[in-house]
Structure 1
Amino acid sequence: MDWLGIGVLIIGIAFAVLVVILIKPLKNLGDVTENLKETTAKLPGTMETVTGQAQLVLNTSNETIGNVNQQVNEITPLFQIVGDTGEAARSLTNSALEKTTKLKSRTTDAANLSRRERYQGLYGLLSFLYYLKENKQEIKVKAEVLNK
């Protein structure tokens, strides 16, 4: 044997050892490929099932949203009525508060007048009655507004 023959023999033995070492990983790779083939064969059916369920969920969600929108549309006028009532009550309360404040300031003015002029007893009563007589119509209008 010459050197070329020995070299070819060593390469052949190395290749045989390599094949023996790689048999098990190649067999495992074949099994993985077979499992992948089975999985991909099942994939269209699985996707069809998932798509059907997703479609059912979306349809149910759309129906629920439609029902909620309908109920909100039905109840919106009630909220508007409550809001309008609150606004009217606030307006009436503000108006009554303003009139009460004006009346209080006017009666305070009359009380200050009687104190300043040192009216006592009968004179104080007479001045208060005169004040009421002068403002009778205005007091009556305010009382009617407050009673409403």
Structure 2
Amino acid sequence: MDWMGIGVLIIAIAFAVLVIFLLKPLSKLASVLNSVQQTTDQLPSTLDSVAGQVSEVLHTSNSTLDNVNKQVVEISPVFHVIGEIGNTSNKLTSVALNKMRAMKQQTENAKKFTEREKYDGVFGLLSFIYFLSQRKVEIKKQVQNLK
């Protein structure tokens, strides 16, 4: 045997040893690839099932959303009415507050008038009552004008 034959024999022995060492990992790789193939074979049916369930969920979601939209449309006028009632009561309260302020000012003016004219006792009381009755008539006229 010459040197070339010895070199080829060493390469063949090394290749045989390499094949023996790689035999176990290659068999494991084959089983993994076999498992991957089985999983990918089941994938279309699994995707069909998931797609069906997603379709059901979307249909239910759309139905629920339609119901919510209908209920919002039905209840929306109620909120508008409540808002209008709030605005109206706010205006009414403001008018009443302004009237009370005006009446307070009038009462203070009447008090100053009685003090200035030195109306005391019964005569002062009578003039104050007359002043209030005149003011009441004015308020009634203003309320009728508001209606």
Q: TM-score, normalised by structure 2?
A: 0.88
- Tell me the distance in 1 between the aligned counterparts of 2:130 and 2:70: 64
Decide whether aligned partners of structure 1 residues 68 and 133 sit closer, same or farther in structure 2, where only a CA change above 3 A counts.
Answer: closer
Other-structure match for 1:110 = 110
- Tell me the distance in 1 between the aligned counterparts of 2:142 and 2:124: 24
- Tell me the distance in 2 between the aligned counterparts of 1:58 and 1:97: 56
Other-structure match for 2:70 = 70
Other-structure match for 1:55 = 55
Q: Which amino acid aligns with 2:128?
A: F
**Secondary structure in structure 2 of the residue aligned to 1:95:** helix
Decide whether aligned partners of structure 1 residues 77 and 143 sit closer, same or farther in structure 2, where only a CA change above 3 A counts.
Answer: closer
What is the CA distance between 1:91 and its match in structure 2?
Answer: 0.8
- Tell me the distance in 1 between the aligned counterparts of 2:100 and 2:55: 66
Percent identity between matched residues is 49
Other-structure match for 1:5 = 5
Corresponding position: 1:38 with 2:30: no
- Tell me the distance in 2 between the aligned counterparts of 1:133 and 1:12: 130
- Tell me the distance in 2 between the aligned counterparts of 1:68 and 1:143: 45
Other-structure match for 2:24 = 24
Other-structure match for 2:88 = 88
- Tell me the distance in 1 between the aligned counterparts of 2:92 and 2:104: 18
Corresponding position: 1:14 with 2:6: no
What is the CA distance between 1:22 and its match in structure 2?
Answer: 0.2
Higher relative contact order by CA 8 Å / sep ≥ 6: 1 or 2?
1
What is the CA distance between 1:85 and its match in structure 2?
Answer: 1.1
**Secondary structure in structure 2 of the residue aligned to 1:119:** coil
Cα displacement string for residues 26-72 of structure 1 (whole angstroms, at most 9, x for unaligned residues): 11111111111111111000000000000000000000000111111
Q: Which stretches in structure 1 are left out of the alignment for 5+ residues?
A: none
Other-structure match for 2:140 = 140
What is the CA distance between 1:125 and its match in structure 2?
Answer: 2.2
Decide whether aligned partners of structure 1 residues 133 and 55 sit closer, same or farther in structure 2, where only a CA change above 3 A counts.
Answer: closer
- Tell me the distance in 1 between the aligned counterparts of 2:134 and 2:63: 70
> Which stretch shifts more, 58-67 or 133-142?
133-142
